[in-house]
Structure 1
Amino acid sequence: MAKLEEIETEEHQKAIIISKRKRTKKKYSIIIPTYNERLNIALVIYLVFKHLQDIDFEVVIVDDGSPDGTQDIIKQLQNVYGDDLILLRARPKKLGLGTAYYHGLKHASGDFIIIMDADLSHHPKYLPNFIRKQMETGASIVTGTRYVRNGGVHGWNLVRKLTSRGANVLAQTLLWPGVSDLTGSFRLYERTAFEDVVSSCVSKGYVFQMEMIVRASRKGYHIEAVPITFVDRVYGSSKLGGSEIVEYLKGLFYLLFTT
């Protein structure tokens, strides 16, 4: 009888531990905006699932009316992985990057929000590093950076590298945000921090990422960084053009005088 009571007590203690683990386990919502990413999105999703096998997560895909059949591929992915893990939240047309994240946030259920690109420039193998860094430091934001040791860029020509580096140096000089990569869009946010910062942003396009991290810095959020290697897209065409560079400069000076 004594042994039976000991076994029952031991099982009860195990149940308490498991219950506590379930209550403390965090969920991650990965928001991926897409436009004409039919050739990339399936591989991105495969790699996300490969590298987050022991993580509770969902993928919220915000497609802005892609005419290339991106949504058809996403629906096929839902058949494979389940529509509870792959959420398609489409919009009728391109409405800006900032509003895409805000739209995705409304449909996300995670404790943490991860934002990343759909063109394979952000390799999902880095996702565990983001999660680990947040858990170790308690940071509200973890941002991927190309401009530290073990980070870098592959696939860009010299002009593109100089443009990106120059944009960051200029922003560092004028804004002093304390972050080495202002224009990157591979980040992890505590949900409450994301909701707070995104609601104060006014940018919609390329400058949105810079505004997010600058406003987060001004608000005093704890920001950490992990090195990443950015790889230029293999399939499809870049969304960055001359108009985005002009918008970046305008947004830079807007932030200089308003934050």
Structure 2
Amino acid sequence: MIINKLSIIIPAYNEGRTIHLILDKIKAVQLLNDIQKEVIIVNDCSADDTEQAIRLYQQTNPDFNIQYFKHEVNKGKGAALHTGIAKATGDYLIIQDADLEYDPTEYNDLLKPVVNGFADVVYGSRFMGSNPHRILFFWHTIGNRWLTFASNMFSNLNLTDMETCYKLFNTKMIQAISLTERRFGFEPEITIKIARIPHIRIYEVGISYYGRTYHEGKKIGWKDGVRAIFCILKYGLFKAK
């Protein structure tokens, strides 16, 4: 499979303190086969200096392809992803959180099954492989595994980490899917909807995970878990469009 450009979609909300660090990591990555990078940042109406940090980074790195978009009101991570996906021009796209929980040096691990002609979609799993994983919250882990299990029941997949940030998609394929979830319901919605595409080839590879605590800025909470359960039923059991 020939890939000329990879779009990297970054939803950002109050990440002014660290977003330059993740951009440095992305810039430093040399992709397989000299694939070009397009970074698309969607600022979801941050209340901190996220916009100033991004603008400064663009000014000091004029040769780095960064496309910047801003929501005038806070709409949620899913809505920011909708905007980024619609703007993507790469052959494939990958989702990247603005924090430092996921390592861009592993993009090539996700690209390999696609470049080698095996995959259309690749998920990066925090629960497989031998890469480093920060030890954090027991109940979060149980919740993630349970949500993945429930999603698998309706999608007939055998994923180990449905809630992972790192998801690599064929851009035209995901742009053709109608997406409605504006917050963290994006994960089960897109997983169940791509599973319905005839002859879709979905792969999973092990990735690192450098998780944050709530004190360090983690945003997902129990309400998002409840919404994820609702979305699994909505798109899986009731097959909502």
Q: Identify which range, 41-50 or 108-117, moves more after superposition.
A: 108-117
Q: Which residue number corresponds to residue 134 of structure 2?
A: 154
Note if contact 1:36-1:236 (Cα within 8 Å) is conserved in structure 2. no
Matched, 1:182 2:162: yes
Matched, 1:32 2:10: yes
Q: Which residue number corresponds to residue 229 of structure 1?
A: 208
Note if contact 2:144-2:161 (Cα within 8 Å) is conserved in structure 1. no
The one-letter code matched in structure 2 to 1:237 is G
Q: Which residue number corresponds to residue 79 of structure 2?
A: 99
SS at match of 2:70: coil
Deviations 1:149-193 (A, max 9, x none): 335741422222222222222333454233222111211111111
Larger Rg: 1 or 2? 1
Note if contact 2:20-2:57 (Cα within 8 Å) is conserved in structure 1. yes
- The 2-side partners of 1:120 and 1:32 are apart by 12
**TM-superposed deviation, 1:39:** 1.8
The one-letter code matched in structure 2 to 1:69 is D
**TM-superposed deviation, 1:242:** 2.4
Matched, 1:45 2:38: no
Query: Residue 194 of structure 2 is aligned with which of 209, 213, 216?
Result: 216
Q: How many residues get paired?
A: 234
- The 2-side partners of 1:38 and 1:217 are apart by 35
SS at match of 1:230: coil
Identity of aligned residues (%): 24
- The 1-side partners of 2:132 and 2:105 are apart by 15
SS at match of 1:62: strand
Deviations 1:183-210 (A, max 9, x none): 112111111111123x2x3322212112
Deviations 1:193-245 (A, max 9, x none): 11123x2x332221211211211111132111111122212774222112212
CA RMSD after TM alignment: 2.1
The one-letter code matched in structure 1 to 2:191 is I
Query: Residue 47 of structure 2 is aligned with which of 64, 67, 73?
Result: 67
Note if contact 2:3-2:92 (Cα within 8 Å) is conserved in structure 1. no
User: Which runs of 5 or more residues in structure 1 are unaligned?
Assistant: 1-23
Structure 1 or 2: more helix by fraction: 1
Q: Which residue number corresponds to residue 21 of structure 1?
A: none
Deviations 1:113-157 (A, max 9, x none): 111111111110111112222101342111111222335741422
- The 1-side partners of 2:182 and 2:119 are apart by 25
**TM-superposed deviation, 1:80:** 2.2
- The 1-side partners of 2:143 and 2:133 are apart by 13
Alignment of 1:230-245 (within 5 A): 230-233=209-212, 236-245=216-225
The one-letter code matched in structure 2 to 1:106 is A
SS at match of 1:256: helix
**TM-superposed deviation, 1:246:** 1.5
Matched, 1:254 2:230: no
Q: Which residue number corresponds to residue 171 of structure 1?
A: 151
Q: Which residue number corresponds to residue 6 of structure 1?
A: none
- The 2-side partners of 1:105 and 1:161 are apart by 28
